[in-house]
Amino acid sequence: MGKKTLLWLQGLSCNGNSQSLLNAENPSFYELFSRVELIFHPEISYKENILQVLEKVLSDRKKVNFLVIEGSITTNKRFHRIGDYTIGELIDRLKNKVDYIIAAGNCASFGNIPVLYREHKDIRGLQFKFKERKGFLPPDFKTKSGYPVINITGCPMHPSWFTQTLIALLEGRKVILDKYNRPKEFFMYLSHDGCLRNEYFEWKVEAEEFGHKEGCLFYNLGCRAPMTHAPCNKILWNRVSSKTRAGLPCFGCTEFDFPLRENYFETKKNIGIPEDVPLGVSKRVYITITGVAKTLKNERLSKKLEETD
């Protein structure tokens, strides 16, 4: 048997997920595509142009096992066109030919930022439009493998989330998905898990401004890590860092509502209580825990890290 094949197409996209993929390390981009035949990728392919490739695929002279879509979906040629096809028309013609469809990033998964451009209402993700199952493909759609569209969310996605999911499928391992069709192997965690500022979160010691190693970024500075499904602090970016480790709040970019927020550096509150509290607790419980933590002040956390013994 020959190698499994992969075709990568782009809809309405900034190419961020492609750029992320080029930074893959475990496995690397080159290791991955030593195991999979890359039929075409718009950023790196040069031997054949996309129209030549599509002619072979659509005429069944070239089999596609993995169809990867990056970017939001539209059928409006004013917004997007590959030859005479829009990305929506191509997906419609390819959807029953492939074994798996993988949405690379939030735009392909949920529609993301392009959906906010309201002039044309058909812009959406593959099976979702934000949290609703009103994507381009029907809610009950499944490929020949029996999977729905597999969503690797993020803006951009972490390359390891994509490569390790692809390797699992290549090896015939079952990939368990959550309610948004994301692999639970990665998205059962929260971005909050593994954050170096977690002790500050537990004792309710809050940062008042950016640029400091101390303090939690949740209460004042808009951090979404306690309610964002992503392993960013478990599988680090470039094996080095994450937003919170670099001193920035998590923006929640793996979730369906990522682009709907107005200010990414502000925590909206009502009478001093955050509108969104950490997943798994009620506002009443959050208020109780906060009150107890502030009463039982941790003196060590009131100092600069360089000053502690």
pLDDT digits (tens, 9 = 90+) for 285-300: 999 999 999 899 898 8
Mean pLDDT of the chain: 94
Domain 4-187 is classified in which CATH homologous superfamily?
Answer: NADH:ubiquinone oxidoreductase-like, 20kDa subunit (3.40.50.700)
> What pLDDT sits at residue 78?
87
pTM above 0.75, yes or no: yes
The CA distance from 259 to 253, in Å, is: 8
The CA distance from 195 to 68, in Å, is: 31
- Asked if 177 and 186 touch (Cβ cutoff 8 Å), the reply is no
> What pLDDT sits at residue 118?
66
All structural domains of the chain with their residue ranges: 4-187, 198-307
Across residues 114-124, what is the average pLDDT? Answer: 83
- Asked if 190 and 228 touch (Cβ cutoff 8 Å), the reply is yes
Q: Could you give the C-alpha distances from 115 to 78, 120, 121, in angstroms and in order?
A: 15, 9, 8
The CA distance from 276 to 228, in Å, is: 11
Domain 198-307 is classified in which CATH homologous superfamily?
Answer: Cytochrome-c3 hydrogenase, C-terminal domain (4.10.480.10)
CB-hemisphere CA count at 13 Å for 215?
A: 18
The pLDDT confidence band at residue 170, using thresholds 50, 70 and 90, is very high
The CA distance from 172 to 166, in Å, is: 10
